[in-house]
A and B are shown apart, each in its own frame.
Chain A
Amino acid sequence: MTSTPITNSVAFDSTRARRFASITLGRVLWLAATVALLTVSWRFAEVRPRILLQPSTFVALWNFLRGLYPPDISPNFLRTLLSAIVQTVATAVVGTLLSITFALPLGVLATSTLWRRGILFSADVGSLTHRAGAVASRVSRALLGFLRAVPDLVWALLFVAGVGLGTLAGTLALAVAYSGVLGRVFADVFEHVDLQPLEALQSTGATRLQIFLRGVWPQALPHLVAFSLYSFECSVRAAAVLGFVGAGGIGYEISVSMRLFEYGQVLTLLLVFIALLATSDAISRYLRRRVVNNTKPARKVVAQEKATVSKPFRSKARRVAASMLALPLLVASFPLAGFTLDAFAFTGIAARLARFVRHMLPPVLSWEMVSGCGTAVLQTIAISLVGTLIGLALAVVFAVPATSTLAFLPGDYPGRVRFIDRALRWLLFWSARLVLNVLRSIPELVWVLICILAVGIGPFAGTLALGLHTAGVLGKLYAETMEEVPIRPIEALRSVGARPLQVLLWAIWPQARPLLTSYTVLRWEVNLRASTILGLVGGGGLGQAIYNNVQLGFYSRLSTLILLIYALVLTSDWIGERVRLRAA
């Protein structure tokens, strides 16, 4: 190394230079609070890592793994399988159609720019009709929030208790849960349309209905279509899981086969489940591309791009043929999803539902009841925190080799690369991707059943299951985020002679940090919702209490628990939003 004019002759106070690990009281307090929270959560989630190392655990897992192969493909089972697939698809289709039907009016009503504020109300704020509209709009928004906050599996359990076992309960649950999700998204889309055309329409003397039909609707339509298709994808996933509480479909078959120790059937069902998800994703993506130009499905309405709806097929004959094909399928879905004539005519579904609702009201709000749920609530929070933490740790381990920019050498890599080096990198990358995909595509509830085999019924099984599924989801997101980081600074560091670890720490991590944090916090919010239902199959938390009360027929206590879930979800949304704002 040559001598340089740069020596350490400068008398800078280097400790003052920057906040490198400067220890402040605030930081110490934050750290202490985090450690305390995690320690308490650790106890409430009943995490016992030692169980994982016991020989009996290995034996149980080994028996499970050995039982998986060969997958069951006997004709008898295939017949059951086929009807389960048909039920699942029909449930998803009808559930989506119904949820769109409910979501549209609720969404329009919840759109604040149409009823409460904004340019349409510069003139008549305070009039009686305006006030009434504003109240209705707020009520609608709150209702959507409630429908969304209660997990779909809890809705399914309620409908199973209300209308009996079978696909009808699942369909109704999907319809209700997803009308909450879609209604909120629709309202957001309506609110984010370009406002100038509305102003112009209003100045011509158009009524609010005319403004909506001519100004808002045409702008919103592409996004409504895109989000509805996206919601169909989610419905298929949900429909396949609802069976765990008796709502029919693939989930029901999985839970039955697990209980009968028929692991070969479980493998077949899981493979079919994954294939079904892949197919519905592909169909939905294809339709979105054909029907909607320039719209990316996002979970939230981030930015409104200009999008248009185009006709899916060019020739008229094809359009007619497509609708001729699609209509009967849609119509046929209804009976398959449980909407049979006798279901409505003879058993009197409406009457049964009304009786069920009457039993649920009023919720028990006595102090004993609420404080008795305290442990369950804390356990739920603990499961979500520790589960997210486990998921995060595993995700980091697998995401680094699954990041193609880190795993592979750049295409024009100078210097000599041995074949064995390339082969190892390839192997590492694809095995990490495979592990993440397996973790992600198996639903949480199935993981719970598997973890119960290893560690027994209880919150630890739920925590582990949540952690494994979260690892898959977060790992994929982390890897994709790190891959999309701007490449130029990375190149600069490589040319300085930085090794891969340094590139990761100094170029990738600083650039990806805000997104990584916000994904993790979002996932914690999802996990909190999920941890309320893990108990339905033996994973602890509030779900356990819900399940017990349904079994015992204490429906008024059930409604208390649902209100608790609502409060939990509202709180987590609020906390999550604060944390994400700080991180950004």
Chain B
Amino acid sequence: MIYSLKSVSKCFPERGGEVQALTCVTLQVRPGELLALLGQSGAGKTTLFRLLNVTLRPTVGVVLFDGDDTSLLSGRALRTMRRRVGTIYQQHNLVPSLTALENALCGALGRMSFFGTLRSIFQPAKTDLDRALHALELVSLVDKRNARADELSGGQQQRLAVARVLMQSPDVILADEPTASLDPTLAESITSLLVGLAREGKKTLIMAVHGVDVALRHFPRAVGLRDGGLSFDVPASEVCSDLLCTLYSQDGKSTGERDDEHAHYKLGCVR
């Protein structure tokens, strides 16, 4: 198992109490598995990702990565583990004042030595530079390599975030709605790119997706998250309209009123 979550809960302190972001989530992920994460906004997907890429500590429960308890690691071991997990964030999380190339290079930071880091301020190693350019080419951003990240459009920033993860070349790719700000064609190509990379390199890919049809087309396994708890965890072929209606309905009732967005999901699963 690459990931093994045992009854993990996460609370965030808030004014006048706590917010329960995740409740008792138990999940096993095999190496090389492709997994689609479904759920409404606020269902706890982002929190789950932050637990998986080890930047957050669970309030209760254990997160095992490749058999190691993440809460027992420190310093160098923790950084080594993070290096093996690449994250594509919903808000891209690029450094706005660095160029596209420099942002892509950031993916290699985990592998750089102390002196390599000092050197990289002036001139990064040639191999790193070549890899970064290749990564930019894969997301067709080579022309924009010298543009600052905050000068790029939303879609370009999203692709740059993908390039940074390509540069990192991790064992696990976590993608938090990476296609949210892209047009359908580009979204499809980015999804195929990530899925292709994962299949080719035997990497694990966990992706939060908005369109159910995309999820069912590319991912063999689908996990539904609702109000911080697991709603279902089934092979993609078994995802049916009942499951989805429970996942996306208001107040947990499958007959509750739905807005257009949810009608879209329904449509997607019926098709």
| Residues in B neighbouring A492, C-beta threshold 8 A | 87, 89, 93-94, 106, 164
A18 touches B121 (CB 8 A): no
Residues of B near A491 (CB, < 8 A) are 55, 93
Q: With A506-B106, A513-B97 as given contacts, are A497 and B82 in contact (CB-CB < 8 Å)? A: yes
Chain A, range 1-50, C-beta contacts under 8 Å to B: 1-10, 12, 14, 17-21
The answer to the question of A355 belonging to the interface, with a C-beta cut-off of 8 Å to chain B, is no
Can you spell out 21 A-B residue pairs with CB atoms less than 8 angstroms apart? A6-B169, A10-B130, A12-B133, A14-B126, A14-B133, A17-B146, A19-B146, A20-B122, A412-B56, A414-B55, A416-B73, A486-B96, A488-B89, A491-B93, A492-B164, A495-B53, A495-B87, A496-B83, A498-B79, A498-B106, A511-B97
Contact call B137/A10, Cβ cutoff below 8 A: yes
Chain B residues contacting A12 (CB-CB under 8 Å) are 130, 133-134, 142
Does B117 count as interface, using CB distance less than 8 angstroms? Answer: yes
Question: Are A415 and B73 interface neighbours, CB within 8 A?
Answer: yes
Beta-carbon nearest neighbor of A501 in chain B:
B117
B3: shortest Cβ distance to chain A, in Å? 14
Contacts of A19 in B (CB 8 A): 146
A18 touches B71 (CB 8 A): no
Q: How large is the interface on A (under 10, 10 to 19, 20 to 34, 35 or more residues)?
A: 35 or more
Q: In the complex the two chains form, is B87's CB within 8 Å of A6's CB? A: no
- A353 close to B (CB within 8 Å): no
A197 at the interface (CB under 8 A from B): no
Q: Return chain A residues, CB-CB under 8 Å to B45.
A: none
Extra A-B contacts (9), CB below 8 Å, given A2-B202, A21-B122? A6-B135, A10-B137, A416-B73, A489-B95, A493-B95, A496-B106, A498-B79, A499-B109, A513-B97
Q: How far is the CA of A514 from the CA of B150 in the complex (A)?
A: 15
Contact A496–B82 (Cβ < 8 Å): yes
Within 8 A of B (CB), among A486-523: 486, 488-489, 491-499, 501-502, 505-507, 510-511, 513-514
A313 to B105, CA, bound (A): 58
Known contacts: A415-B72, A416-B74, A492-B94. The answer to whether A502 contacts B201 by CB under 8 A is no
Complex: A341 Cα to B127 Cα, angstroms = 83
Q: Which residues of B contact A6 (CB under 8 A)?
A: 131, 134-135, 138, 166-167, 169
Q: Are A506 and B109 also in contact (CB < 8 A) when A18-B145, A416-B74 are?
A: yes
Give B62-118 interface residues, CB cut-off 8 Å to A.
70-74, 77-83, 85-87, 89, 91, 93-99, 101-102, 106-107, 109-112, 114, 117
* B interface bracket (residues with beta carbon within 8 Å of A): 35 or more
B residues near A123, Cβ cutoff 8 Å: none
Q: Which residues of B contact A (CB under 8 A)?
A: 51, 53-57, 70-74, 77-83, 85-87, 89, 91, 93-99, 101-102, 106-107, 109-112, 114, 117, 121-124, 126-127, 129-131, 133-135, 137-138, 142, 145-146, 164, 166-169, 171, 197, 200-203
Task: Report B-chain residues with C-beta under 8 Å of the C-beta of A507.
Answer: 95, 106
CB-CB under 8 A from B83, the residues of chain A are: 496-497
Q: Is the CB of A17 within 8 A of B57?
A: no
The answer to whether A489 touches B171, judged by C-beta atoms less than 8 angstroms apart, is no
**Cα distance A499–B116 when bound, in Å?**
12
> B107 — which chain A residues lie within 8 A by C-beta?
496
B79 and A499 form a contact (CB under 8 A): yes
Task: Identify which of A4, A20, A415, A497 gathers the most chain B CB atoms within 10 Å of its CB.
Answer: A497
Quick one: closest A residue to B146, CB to CB? A18
- Shortest distance from the beta carbon of A227 to any chain B beta carbon, whole Å: 32
Residue A417 is within 8 A (CB to CB) of chain B in the complex: yes
On whether A495 and B82 interact (CB within 8 A), knowing A415-B73, A506-B95, A510-B97, the answer reads yes
B109 touches A502 (CB 8 A): yes
Q: CB-nearest residue of chain B relative to A504?
A: B117
Kindly identify which residue among A415, A416, A489, A498 contacts B96, using a CB–CB cutoff of 8 Å.
A489
Q: How far is the CA of A582 from the CA of B124 in the complex (A)?
A: 26
Q: Please, which residues of chain A bring their CB within 8 A of the CB of B77?
A: 415
Whole-angstrom CA separation of A311 from B202 in the bound complex: 69
Once the chains are docked, how many angstroms separate the CA of A330 from the CA of B217? Answer: 79
CB-nearest residue of chain B relative to A9? B134
Q: A12, A417, A486: which has the most chain B beta carbons within 10 Å?
A: A12
| Binary contact readout A356-386 vs B (1 if CB under 8 angstroms, 0 otherwise) | 0000000000000000000000000000000
In the complex, chain A residues whose CB is within 8 Å of the CB of B202: 2
Q: Which residues of B contact A513 (CB under 8 A)?
A: 97
Judge whether A510 and B123 touch: CB under 8 Å. Answer: no
Contact B78 A414 (CB under 8 A): yes
Q: Which residue of B lies closest to A19 (CB)?
A: B146
Contacts of B54 in A (CB 8 A): 414-415, 495
Give A contacts to B, CB under 8 Å: 1-10, 12, 14, 17-21, 410, 412-418, 486, 488-489, 491-499, 501-502, 505-507, 510-511, 513-514
Name the distance in Å between A272's Cβ and chain B's nearest Cβ.
40
Whether A10 contacts B133 by the Cβ 8 Å rule is: yes
Chain B residues with CB below 8 A from A21, complex form: 122-123
Cβ–Cβ < 8 Å partners of B73 in chain A: 414-416
Complex formed: what's the CA distance from A225 to B166 in Å? 56
Q: Which of B86, B97, B137 contacts A496 (CB 8 A)?
A: B86
Q: Quick check: A498 and B109 within 8 Å, CB to CB?
A: yes
Q: Say how far B207's CB is from chain A's closest CB, in angstroms.
A: 16
Given the complex of chains A and B, what is the CA–CA distance between A496 and B93 in angstroms? 12
| Nearest CB in chain A: distance from B145 CB, A | 6
Cβ distance A537 to chain B, nearest Cβ, rounded Å? 42
Residues on B with beta carbons closer than 8 Å to the beta carbon of A501 = 114, 117
Is there an interface contact between A489 and B203, defined as CB atoms closer than 8 Å?
A: no
Task: Report the separation of the CA atoms of residues A333 and B203 in the bound assembly, to the nearest whole angstrom.
Answer: 77
Min distance, Cβ A171 to any Cβ of chain B, angstroms: 47
With a cutoff of 8 Å between Cβ atoms, the chain B residues found around residue A489 in the complex are 93-96
Chain B residues near A3: list those with CB within 8 A.
Answer: 201
- Whether the pair A497, B109 counts as a contact (CB closer than 8 A) is yes
Min CB distance, A494 to chain B, in Å?
6
Neighbouring A residues of B130 by C-beta, 8 Å: 8, 10, 12, 14
> Complex formed: what's the CA distance from A413 to B71 in Å?
9
The answer to whether A510 and B79 touch (CB under 8 A), given A414-B55, A488-B89, is no
Check B169–A2 contact: CB distance below 8 A. Answer: yes
> 7 closest pairs, A vs B, by CB?
A497-B110, A497-B83, A492-B93, A497-B82, A498-B109, A8-B130, A14-B129
Contact of A414 with B57 in the complex, beta carbons under 8 Å: yes
- B55 to chain A: which residues have CB within 8 Å? 410, 412, 414, 491, 494-495
- In the complex, which residues of chain A have a beta carbon less than 8 angstroms from the beta carbon of B96? 486, 489, 511
Q: Is B201 in contact with A496, judged by CB distance below 8 angstroms? A: no
CB distance from A500 to the nearest CB of B (A): 10
Closest chain A residue, CB of each to CB of B93: A492
Min CB–CB distance A105 → chain B (angstroms)? 45
Given A18-B145, A18-B146, A488–B131 Cβ distance below 8 Å?
no
| B133 proximity list for chain A (CB < 8 A) | 10, 12, 14, 17
Q: Whose C-beta in chain B lies nearest to the C-beta of A502? A: B109
Residues of chain A contacted by B129 (CB below 8 angstroms):
14, 17
Complex CA distance for A7 and B91, rounded to whole angstroms: 28
Residue of A nearest to B94 (CB): A489
Q: Are A18 and B72 in contact (CB under 8 A)?
A: no
**Closest beta carbon of chain A to B252's beta carbon, Å:** 29
* CA A10 to CA B134, docked complex, whole Å: 6
- Knowing A414-B57, A415-B54, say if A18 contacts B93 (CB, 8 Å): no
